[in-house]
A and B are shown apart, each in its own frame.
Chain A
Amino acid sequence: MQLLTPAGERVASPEYDPWVGDVDDAQLRDLYRDMVVVRRIDTEATALQRQGELALWPPLLGQEAAQVASARALRSDDFVFTSYRENAVAYCRGAAPVELVSVWRAVTATGWNPYSINMATPQVVIGAQTLHATGYALGIQADGADAVAVAYFGDGATSEGDVSEALVFAAAYSAPVVFFCQNNHWAISEPVTLQTRGSLAARGSGFGIPSMRVDGNDVLAVTAATRIALDRARSGGGPTFIEAVTYRMGPHTTADDPTRYRPPAELDEWRKRDPIVRLEAYLTSRNELPDDFRAEVQAVADSTAAELRAGCIALPDPDPLSIFDHVYADPHPALEQRREWYAHYLDGFEAAP
């Protein structure tokens, strides 16, 4: 499904247009702003890693439309379970810039309290979060609420057993969960063709789950697909599987060297389908992207990046004894003793001449 061509032309679709009928130029400008800002965050975080301020960073470059448009379609009481790459989703959910990088500075295991923005701590174990979203959805269902759980995961993740088991559960209970798969064509060095010979959307269908394949670099198409899925889930129609076809324009992480495995022509091809360029072209063609607005967006992007940088550099190292915190919810005498011993051990260094 595509509503905006790579050149930024609007394609009419009797089936999907009604789902985005209310998305006017002002809303598109908001999406544009988000996309520019998250790209700036992404670039700044990459720079911070290069400068030794972050241990690692997984860029989302190229996936802005898929993440921003889907996240902006959600309600605040929906709950999101993502992988490590969904930093634009986290931004849209309300994570502060510094909260996006604190885990990558290796000073904390979570950037935020999941309940504060209704978004789980991003998952590193590939695919595991799809089960969590499914279970959360079962809870919503049991509560009789109309919120939705959303699982974000990659093309590579679809091969993990956990993801198949999540699809089985979601289908079995008609759970209000949306499986949002970003097919960015690569799982580190492995092309998506290794994970599936057909389309990833067919995975969903195979489990009896209504599935859609959308142009993930098209904000309108992603908005429509996500709204359809959310509507189905809210009205008791059960899960939906969305394959958002996009592209990882950067390395897997800052530790990766994609020149070892990726044909350069492929990247060039996808540069032409850049999601931000596309929306820019569309809005410009309608004279809806005036210079003063662009300047305002640039200013927001720059100040967000500055806030991110300052916040990141100011993040203190964890207190040594904090490593013993929160292992258990209830008191644990043996661990308390260990903490006491370790505090005593550290004191020995202070006391030493």
Chain B
Amino acid sequence: MSTLTLSKAIGAGLRRAMETDPKVVLLGEDIGKLGGVYRITDGLQADFGERRVLDTPLAESAIIGAAVGLAYRGYRPVCEIQFDGFIYPAFDQIVSQVSRMHYRTKGAVRMPITIRVPWGGGIGAAEHHSDSPEAYFTHTAGLRVVACSNPQNAYTMIREAIASDDPVLYFEPKRRYHLKGEVDLEAPLSGQSAGRSQVLVAGTDVTVVAYGALVQTALDAAAAAEREGISIEVIDLLSLSPIDYAPIAQSVRRTGRLVVAHEAALTGGVGAEVCASITERCFEYLEAAPVRVTGHDIPYPPAKAEGHHIPDLDRLLDGIDCALGRPNSRSGMGAGS
């Protein structure tokens, strides 16, 4: 066991993958000499050389497009997109090429590409440095999408993502980079990029599903609710595509109430998918309509106002009250709220 921050855990996972597989190569802006703007790749270029850790020119489409070529040639590229909001120049390569190559070639060509994305808000950043673009990718068949939430799963999941023969979008909650935790560096890999959600806290009254940075908020909510005698079950999705619904459905069959939380906008978000799928599976068990606690349907606002956009503990507790039919901000308001 080692005590690591989430960011160091990702770095340790990258290092481990590079040590065990010579085909693993890293590409990204400022990831070499600087070690990345978040220092995730610190020291890797010094140890593995410039052929395996490439500082790339400023061209996101080329980072991903070149990874496609490297994958064609048998490599296992790990791309860093410097910030969530700069993935869009690479969108075409990801959606039109990376996601479909295996399908198009009838399985002949594999795309074991990992795309690391420092992700989400809450850090007081400039525009385009706080986006939550995950739903664009969960909507795209052929991609796996995962989101880590603590040092242990960050370490294990980056290794699984790299080992996966499918392309994986790996979202890293920036505002949890400094979160510390015990990491078992020998924890077994599941053999495929994480396809399982995880019950973090068992509870009986409401099922709260979260991922990424909001997992911590959900844990805080469970602790706060407990003080009021309410028992929350917290589930970390970990994998956003595919989603492992079994633990969630089992939970909702017991609690009858579901709250899903994310920073990303409401409309067309992962929360919508979870609510629909769980309603399909658990309709007759539901005691109340599922509740989504999410960012608003707005562009990410100036950082001084970001606390009004991304859900915090109070917003989540309010959503939990709503699911429980207790007085809450939506009481007496239309479904639009």
Contacts and interface: CB of A to CB of B under 8 A. Distances in A.
Contact of B34 (A159, A260, A341): A260
Nearest to B33: A261
Interface stretch (A240-248, A296-304, A319-327): A319-327
B89 interface: yes
Interface string A321-338: 011100100000111011
A195 B30 CA distance: 12
A73 to B, nearest CB: 27
B59 interface: yes
B16 interface: no
Given A56-B126, A188-B34, A195 B57 contact: yes
A107 interface: yes
Interface in B142-193: none
B203 interface: no
Contact of A189 (B30, B60, B85, B125): B30
A25 interface: no
A125 B302 contact: no
Interface stretch (B70-78, B228-236, B327-335): B327-335
Given A159-B59, A195-B57, A345-B318, A109 B302 contact: yes
A80 interface: no
B107 interface: no
Contacts of A55: 124-126, 303
Contacts of B15: none
Interface centre among B37, B56, B58, B299 (most CB of A within 10 A): B58
Contacts of A194: 55-57
A340 interface: yes
Interface stretch (B94-102, B237-245, B254-262, B304-312): B304-312
Nearest to B82: A188
Contact of A348 (B55, B57, B309, B329): B329
B108 interface: no
Contact of B336 (A317, A320, A341): A341
B124 to A, nearest CB: 5
B58 A161 contact: no
Interface in A118-150: 124-127
Contact of B85 (A105, A125, A190, A344): A125
Given A195-B58, A340-B337, A345-B329, A190 B303 contact: no
Contact of B61 (A107, A161, A187, A344): A161
A199 interface: no
Contact of B302 (A260, A318, A334): A318
A214 to B, nearest CB: 23
B281 interface: no
B48 interface: no
Nearest to B34: A189
A114 B156 CA distance: 48
B60 to A, nearest CB: 8
A342 B125 CA distance: 23
A324 B34 contact: no
B329 A344 contact: yes
Contact of A108 (B86, B298, B302, B314): B302
A342 to B, nearest CB: 7
Contacts of A349: 314
B127 interface: yes
A84 B333 CA distance: 42
B195 interface: no
B125 A337 contact: no
Nearest to A196: B57
A56 B62 CA distance: 29
A275 interface: no
A9 interface: no
Nearest to B335: A337
Interface string B262-303: 000010000000000000000000000000000011110111
Given A189-B33, A190-B30, A337 B89 contact: no
Nearest to A322: B305
Contacts of B35: 260
Interface string A251-292: 000010000110000000000000000000000000000000
Given A55-B126, A323-B301, A260 B33 contact: yes
A190 B55 contact: yes
B305 to A, nearest CB: 4
Contact of B89 (A84, A161, A195, A345): A161
Contacts of B88: 125
A317 B125 CA distance: 15
A337 B302 contact: no
B128 interface: yes
Given A188-B34, A348-B329, A337 B336 contact: yes
A162 interface: yes
A317 B304 contact: yes
B80 interface: no
Given A156-B58, A342-B296, A188 B30 contact: yes
B297 to A, nearest CB: 6
A31 interface: no
Contacts of A318: 301-302, 304-305
Given A55-B124, A159-B59, A318-B304, A341 B86 contact: no
Contacts of B128: 124-125
A313 interface: no
A126 B59 CA distance: 9
Contacts of B32: 189
A349 B328 CA distance: 11
Contacts of A337: 334, 336-337
28 contacts: A55-B125, A106-B124, A109-B301, A109-B302, A124-B85, A125-B86, A159-B57, A160-B58, A160-B89, A161-B59, A161-B61, A161-B89, A162-B89, A187-B29, A188-B29, A189-B33, A260-B33, A260-B35, A317-B305, A318-B301, A318-B302, A318-B304, A335-B296, A338-B337, A341-B333, A341-B336, A345-B315, A345-B329
Interface of A: 55-56, 84, 103-109, 124-127, 156-157, 159-162, 187-190, 194-195, 255, 260-261, 317-318, 320, 322-324, 327, 333-335, 337-338, 340-342, 344-345, 348-349
**4 nearest A-B pairs in the assembled complex, by CB-CB distance:** A341-B337, A337-B336, A106-B303, A189-B34
